[in-house]
């Protein structure tokens, strides 16, 4: 699930409201139960290549600590600041680092430098060769999305509505850009996209901005979604999920808002449709794919915004953003399952329980971070810090069978 962040005043009001509701309803749980998994005819198979206990994970915290995937290794970190360098070929732990800090965002960087963000609003750069800390710098507030490299700079998006540029070599702040956050936001931040010498960022107030990476000046600023309703919850339109750029068109989705396609050269909408997502968008040469706030998976025509198909059988299973591998779409869910669907019409073709730890807490084996794809391989990280690598293979007609 997503989490909501708010001011202290709003928090006290919310607690008072919750107290009234609980006094009226007792211990009744009104949350929507997750859909039961249904049987289907499998036409593909997920095969485990390796698994590795890489770090301590995030426990019950809702933190998307995405690993950094390099050509031959994976840099992954747990909330407690334990970092592991994992061999991409076999899952062996090559090195371990203890940063001594509570982390709040996924790993950024490249083969030369690794970047980590802490709960206390600190950005840490680690030399990839020596595995030693190069510098630590305080930024205005907590970072919840992975740091992004642009030339010799680092770009971070902070929870107080700022985009900050820092020198990669020293951590010195170059410039910052800020928009005022609404009183109520989702617990998360979208990752800035850098392309065509511009920075594209989705903000908590439902606006999309294009900035100059040189000085942070605004190139254009559009309302991706306009808040509706009377209550602060009804007016939540946070852009937390991943946006994607295809050519000169930026695709983005907001919570309780819209899915849009924007011409980034002019800052104008090509199309927009009602949609609510906190996971974001994935693009191929024909379609846009997204999981909405009810865990329905959609395929939408990239040029017109028309619905091509919708898969509703994972409702309320808190699925990740869809990722693409070959002819398939893959999502992970709260219970640690990987679901594989056809790109053509969304029917299920394969499924696997990532963890076989039936004694563990369901929350511990859940998947928050979207799977990562490299060729025919799929890499998955669970809440408890386990890292898995799978291959996906099409079954011969004689092998197809019922699968649950």
- pLDDT recorded at residue 185: 63
> Mean pLDDT of all residues in the chain?
87
Asked whether the predicted pLDDT for residue 306 surpasses 60, the reply is yes
Please, which pLDDT band fits residue 227 given cuts at 50, 70 and 90? confident
Asked whether the predicted pLDDT for residue 211 surpasses 50, the reply is yes
Asked whether the predicted pLDDT for residue 15 surpasses 50, the reply is no
pLDDT digits (tens, 9 = 90+) for 80-124: 999 999 999 999 999 999 999 999 999 999 999 999 999 999 999
Q: Hey, which of 17-21, 28-32, 222-226 has the most confident mean pLDDT? A: 222-226
Q: Which domain holds residue 344?
A: 39-60+277-404
Instruction: Read off the pLDDT of each residue in 267-279 and give the average, rounded to a whole number.
Output: 96
> 348 or 7, which is more confident?
348
Cβ atoms 149, 109 nearer than 8 A: yes
Cβ atoms 174, 165 nearer than 8 A: yes
* Residue 118 counted as domain residue: no
Q: Where are the alpha helices (DSSP H) in 320-399?
A: 362-365
% of the chain with per-residue pLDDT over 90 = 73
Distance CA 90, CA 293 (A): 35
Q: Quick one: DSSP state of residue 285?
A: S
* Residue 333 counted as domain residue: yes
Q: Quick one: DSSP state of residue 398?
A: G
Residues 6+ away with beta carbon under 8 Å from 270: 249, 261, 262, 263
Please, which pLDDT band fits residue 138 given cuts at 50, 70 and 90? very high
- pLDDT recorded at residue 403: 60
- pLDDT recorded at residue 270: 98
Please, which pLDDT band fits residue 212 given cuts at 50, 70 and 90? very high
Q: How far apart are the first and last CA of the chain?
A: 24
* Residue 311 counted as domain residue: yes
* Residue 357 counted as domain residue: yes
Judged on CB neighbours under 10 Å (0-12, 13-18, 19+), 377 is: middle
User: For the domain that residue 353 is a member of, what is the CATH number?
Assistant: 2.130.10.10
pLDDT digits (tens, 9 = 90+) for 345-390: 999 999 999 975 544 444 578 999 999 999 889 999 999 999 999 9
* Residue 66 counted as domain residue: no
Q: What is the pTM of this model?
A: 0.89
How many distinct structural domains can be found in the chain?
1
Instruction: Read off the pLDDT of each residue in 40-69 and give the average, rounded to a whole number.
Output: 89
Please list the helix, strand and coil fractions of the chain in percent, rounded to the nearest 5, in that order: 5, 45, 50
Instruction: Read off the pLDDT of each residue in 150-159 and give the average, rounded to a whole number.
Output: 94
* Residue 368 counted as domain residue: yes
% of the chain with per-residue pLDDT over 70 = 86
If you search the block for the tokens 């009183």, which residue do you land on?
183
Please, which pLDDT band fits residue 14 given cuts at 50, 70 and 90? very low
Please, which pLDDT band fits residue 1 given cuts at 50, 70 and 90? very low
- pLDDT recorded at residue 358: 45
- pLDDT recorded at residue 274: 95
Q: Quick one: DSSP state of residue 396?
A: P
Hey, what are 373's tokens? 């794809």
Please, which pLDDT band fits residue 29 given cuts at 50, 70 and 90? low
- pLDDT recorded at residue 349: 97
Hey, what are 342's tokens? 């056809």
């Amino acid at each position: 699930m997503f989490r909501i962040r708010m001011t202290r005043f709003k928090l006290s009001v919310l607690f008072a409201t919750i107290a009234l509701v609980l006094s009226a309803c007792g211990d009744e749980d009104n949350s929507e139960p997750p859909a039961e998994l249904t049987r289907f005819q499998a036409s593909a198979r997920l095969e485990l290549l390796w698994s590795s206990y890489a770090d301590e994970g995030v426990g019950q915290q809702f933190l998307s600590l995405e690993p950094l995937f390099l050509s031959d290794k994976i840099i992954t970190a747990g909330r407690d600041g334990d970092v592991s360098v994992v061999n991409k070929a076999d899952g062996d732990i090559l090195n371990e680092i203890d940063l001594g800090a509570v982390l709040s965002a996924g790993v950024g960087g490249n083969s030369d430098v690794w970047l980590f963000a802490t709960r206390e609003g600190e950005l840490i750069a680690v030399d990839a060769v020596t595995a030693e800390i190069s510098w630590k710098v305080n930024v205005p507030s907590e970072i919840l999305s992975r740091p992004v490299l642009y030339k010799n700079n680092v770009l971070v998006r902070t929870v107080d509505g700022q985009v900050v540029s820092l020198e990669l070599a020293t951590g010195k702040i170059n410039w910052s850009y800020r928009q005022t956050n609404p009183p109520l936001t989702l617990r998360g931040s979208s990752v800035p996209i850098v392309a065509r010498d511009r920075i594209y960022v989705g903000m908590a107030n439902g606006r999309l901005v294009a900035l100059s990476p040189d000085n942070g000046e605004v190139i254009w600023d559009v309302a991706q979604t306009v808040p509706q309703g009377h209550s602060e919850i009804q007016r939540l339109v946070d852009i937390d999920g991943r946006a994607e750029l295809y050519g000169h068109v930026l695709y983005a989705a907001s919570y309780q808002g819209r899915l849009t396609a924007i011409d980034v050269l002019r800052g104008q909408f090509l199309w927009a449709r009602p949609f609510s997502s906190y996971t974001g968008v994935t693009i191929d040469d024909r379609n846009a794919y997204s999981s909405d706030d009810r865990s329905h998976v959609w395929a939408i025509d990239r040029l017109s915004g028309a619905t091509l198909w919708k898969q509703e059988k994972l409702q309320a299973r808190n699925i990740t953003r869809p990722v693409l591998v070959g002819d398939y779409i893959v999502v992970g869910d709260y219970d640690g399952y990987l679901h594989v669907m056809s790109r053509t019409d969304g029917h299920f073709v394969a499924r696997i329980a990532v963890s076989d730890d039936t004694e563990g807490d369901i929350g511990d084996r859940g998947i928050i971070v979207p799977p990562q794809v490299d060729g025919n391989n799929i890499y998955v990280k669970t809440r408890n810090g386990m890292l898995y690598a799978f291959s996906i293979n099409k079954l011969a007609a004689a092998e197809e069978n019922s699968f649950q």
